[in-house]
Structure 1
Amino acid sequence: MDLEFTWAWIALALAMFPATMGVVNLFLVRPPRGTPREGALVSILIPARNEGANIAGCLDAALASRDVAVEVVVMDDGSTDATARIVRDYAARDARVRLESAPALPPGWTGKVHACARLADAARGTHFLFIDADVRLAPEAAACMAGHAARTGTAMVTGVPKQVIGSLGEALTVPMINFLLFCYLPGGGRAFTRRPGMAAACGQLLLVEREGYFASGGHEGVRGVLHDGLALARRMRDHGLATEIVEGHGLATCRMYTNFRDSWAGFIKNAREGMATPVGLPIWTVMLAGAHLWPFFFLPRSAAVLALALGFALRAAVTLRVREPWWTIPLHPLTVLVALSIQWVALARALMGKPAGWKGRAYGTA
């Protein structure tokens, strides 16, 4: 048995792992179901820093919510554009809208996390639905998520919105969110996977019950992180509370970035609190590169061909399930390569002590 033959079969084995998990998770992760409890009020909470181009569309969608009472609270986090003025105009026309101003950022906090903590303090609802300003809620989203929480007894319900992808740069970065969720997270983040290490969440679309949020310490307990959704889910599980990922493409849409430069910067920001650790990243590199990149070096071995076929089939299944553009599927190997490059650059920057930054703020190594 030659060495190349052995490596081809190892690559196939590495490809079988996400394929098996992906099939299971595509079955497990379902849309939310349930009816909100009587008297439920969903506080739609939006941290906003220089979101003048996004905030009106976000408010229009939030105010179109139906089947549950809502309030919409925007935390203006030191914006220097028209964000506050736009929100004030909405508040003058609709009593459900309120504008709050974030206090100065205290030491040890990251900006979005601090804004979310202050939003929770200001909210009046039985449920807090945290969304980003670039998210557009579906009319039934708030009711469906609050209903799912009531039906299942989960303290957190979260999902990945349908990702709007309009450029090559986005196509090479954004699809890895759903691919990793479905293919490399045991149980897909469902509530029965109670271990904090198996928690997952998307900060773009995250509903928590008020009591569970404050009982776990909320954003106060994760004040120094940049990947707030994941950190909050793990903290809530640490406090014995159930968290659950649901199918999110029917609940909201989001265009995170519009070009490769912004996508790269945005994903590097979160990488330090995900894969980009000295112990974890080499393992992730073997798992991802071994399954989706190495087989190219062993073509035309049958094991390599089968490994690549599994990878592309899996990517196609996830892409079609979450309603992302079909034309991103052939880019899958490049997407994996870019994802690993982002993680290694983020780790190198962390080891050199370079601060992470976002929205004009710099933060120390997490």
Structure 2
Amino acid sequence: MEYAHIALALALMPVVFGTVNLLRMARPRGAAPEGTLVSILIPARNEAANIAACLDAALASTGCAVEVVVMDDGSTDDTAAIVSGYAARDARVRLVEAPSLPPGWTGKVHACARLAEAAGGTHLLFIDADVRLAPHAACAMAAHAAAKRIAMVSGVPRQIIGSLGEALTVPFINFLLICYLPFGGRATSRQPGLAAACGQLILVERRAYEAIGGHGAIKGVLHDGIALARLFRSRGHDTEIVDGAPLATCRMYDGFGPSWDGFIKNAREGMATPIGLPIWTVLLAGAHLWPWALLPDAEALLTIVLMFALRAAVTIRTGEPWWTVPLHPLTVLVALAIQWAALLRSALGIKAGWKGRAYPATRTA
């Protein structure tokens, strides 16, 4: 059937990209150069439930010197008190208070900019409060950056998925990055349009970061990882996505509702554009959803098998739960629903909200 030929053709692109990216994705290891100090920087807004475990993991870092700086960004819970307790016991920990959010800035980007100013490290490692670093992570990322002369190293932590709602949303991050991005965000290319990063885990070389203007140059964005990676590349620096599963873990959201809201926020600066989203819909629905309507055609069945095999390979490499693999078609369907909902909300002028703050419907770097 002609339609089945088209579906199979659409499936070949992610198979090729995914295979190459899985084989070539770097896994940082080794010792950082002498004199390396990694500043682990944590923006925190109402993170009392997370911050202690985050600090425990960061302070267990080995292989190079670290400091941990936490910015309390207007928390109304016990975040500041918990961090103050750690700071009283360990000189490597500092608590700083975020100044008022200036006009034109988004909250996390502003906090990261102020954290960078307070840091003393040769390398700055920005993490979210729900990230748990492996003991070797900070040193290994700095070593990789130094050895490869890469200004920015990022990775997607191994995602902890504890509910069906998370299983229908979170795994799409790694699948999209590995299977639909040429070069997988590696330093093979300096094209800004092919840059990628995960805001949960970003290490930058301090001098390069300051040379490009840091977070201040992207002050109005919500998806800070991608914007920062594109900025580095546009200024002639290398950036790279590495295998983040051995470096850290993270539970992004707790259930379907928070996952939906979080991904809608980021979609506005990603796929959810009037020109891009129809193309993405054809690519994703054509390869992962359409073949189901063409059964029992043999080529449609082959396409389905290929897509499940590809998803299984990504799931194994990224350490995500195996039971999310059979949900793959629904994951793609939910991802497209999120993108179209984000585009509609933007067209209607509905503001994006996060952590108690509202931002204009459309933001640019």
* TM bucket normalised to smaller: over 0.9
Matched, 1:267 2:263: yes
Separation in 2 of the partners of 1:115 and 1:321? 32
User: What amino acid does structure 2 have at the position aligned with 1:309?
Assistant: V
Deviation at 1:193, TM superposition (A): 1.3
Matched, 1:329 2:321: no
State the partner residue of 2:125: 129
Deviation at 1:192, TM superposition (A): 1.3
Matched, 1:299 2:319: no
Deviation at 1:30, TM superposition (A): 2.1
Matched, 1:362 2:340: no
State the partner residue of 1:158: 154
State the partner residue of 1:235: 231
State the partner residue of 2:220: 224
Q: Matched residue of 2:304: which SS? A: helix
Identity percentage of aligned residues: 72
Structure 2 matches for 1:239-250, cutoff 5 A?
A: 239-250=235-246
Structure 2 matches for 1:19-34, cutoff 5 A?
A: 19-34=15-30
Structure 2 matches for 1:11-160, cutoff 5 A?
A: 11-160=7-156
Consecutive unaligned residues of structure 1, counting only runs of 5 or more, are none
Separation in 1 of the partners of 2:29 and 2:3? 45
Deviation at 1:34, TM superposition (A): 3.7
2:275 to 276, 279, 293: 279
Tell me the TM-score normalised to structure 1 length. Answer: 0.98
Runs of 4+ in structure 1 off by over 6 angstroms are none
Deviation at 1:131, TM superposition (A): 0.1
Structure 2 matches for 1:203-218, cutoff 5 A?
A: 203-218=199-214
Tell me the TM-score normalised to structure 2 length. Answer: 0.99
Deviation at 1:316, TM superposition (A): 0.3
Separation in 1 of the partners of 2:259 and 2:141? 28
Separation in 2 of the partners of 1:75 and 1:320? 35
Number of residue equivalences: 362
What are the Cα deviations for residues 124-161 of structure 1, in whole angstroms up to 9, with x where unaligned? 00000000000000000000000001100000011000
Consecutive unaligned residues of structure 2, counting only runs of 5 or more, are none
Q: Matched residue of 1:75: which SS? A: strand
